[in-house]
Amino acid sequence: MRKARGEKPSAREVKKRLEQTYGINSVRAADIAEQLFCEKKVELRLLRPEIKKGASQLAGLTAHEELAAEARPISRKELNEQLASGKKILLRETLFSGRHREIPIVGKPDLVFFDRMRPLFLVDYKFSAKRETYPDQRLQVALYGMLLHQNKFETELLVTIIAFVSRAVAEGNRERELLKIYQRLRETALTQQRQAVHQDGDVACFAYPFVLSRAKELLDKQTDFWLGLRSAVPTTHPRKCSVCEFNAAGLCESALAAPVPKP
């Protein structure tokens, strides 16, 4: 499916292209965000799913599982009933779906804290020693906010949070302490209408007031790839290529540097 820019593909055409090209029926918010890191890598991951994830990615998956270990499944009906009753709900690893320019999008925030139908904050955990956020990470949490809005939740006072935490935090069940930090960050971010930050030895948290129009604006720049209106754009940073598993496997013709040998 290739149409001229400005010519809108139907939802059926978009779905068919996603299924035939990538074997998927929806696009993950995480993949849309990673387009800002390297769109070519996103494409290769979908086309070559047999290529194993890197060690850091696998470690991150394990840490996410540890944080969500005590969570129990909840249906959308049960969630709505509890929210309607006035309960505050801490929702973990729950899939939300939506649509933009006929592209079906799904996302699973690590944590969403609800007060009735109002999500007060959502959190995306990063298990990394880094202490700064990047555009792809900020886009990912913005897309989660957009999905909550499309699911009829009141997002006017929502704050999105990127939390860099150590494995010790995940293994030590310190989330009650983190929730207090998130509440303070939310109040600061909304009061000042800008980024709020908390940092200590094991944790670095960055909070942003959610702005729906900004999320849509950022998303618009990524959608032509999924609609088949342009080819995947590779990164312009050789360092990203040097540690890419697809470059190491000899699958990327756009690589700007030789892969770093594994120790």
Is the same domain home to 176 and 116?
Answer: yes
Q: What is the pLDDT of residue 150?
A: 97
- In the chain, DSSP assigns E strands to 27-28, 88-92, 96-100, 103-107, 111-115, 118-126, 159-165, 196-199, 203-209
Is the same domain home to 57 and 155?
Answer: yes
Is the same domain home to 207 and 249?
Answer: no
Is the same domain home to 97 and 124?
Answer: yes
Is the same domain home to 177 and 238?
Answer: no
CB 226 within 8 Å of CB 14:
yes
For residue range 129-155, list pLDDT tens digits in order.
Answer: 888 999 999 999 999 999 999 999 999
Is the same domain home to 147 and 215?
Answer: yes
Overall number of domains in the chain: 2
Is the same domain home to 243 and 180?
Answer: no
Distances 26 to 7, 256, 259 between C-alpha atoms, Å: 21, 30, 31
Q: What is the pLDDT of residue 17?
A: 96
Q: Is the pLDDT of residue 108 over 70?
A: yes
Portion of the chain with pLDDT greater than 70, in percent:
87
Is the same domain home to 136 and 239?
Answer: no
CB 240 within 8 Å of CB 38:
yes
> What CATH number corresponds to the domain at position 113?
3.90.320
For residue range 172-182, list pLDDT tens digits in order.
Answer: 567 788 999 99
Is the same domain home to 160 and 224?
Answer: yes
pTM value is 0.89
Residue 263 structural domain: 234-263
Is the same domain home to 226 and 253?
Answer: no
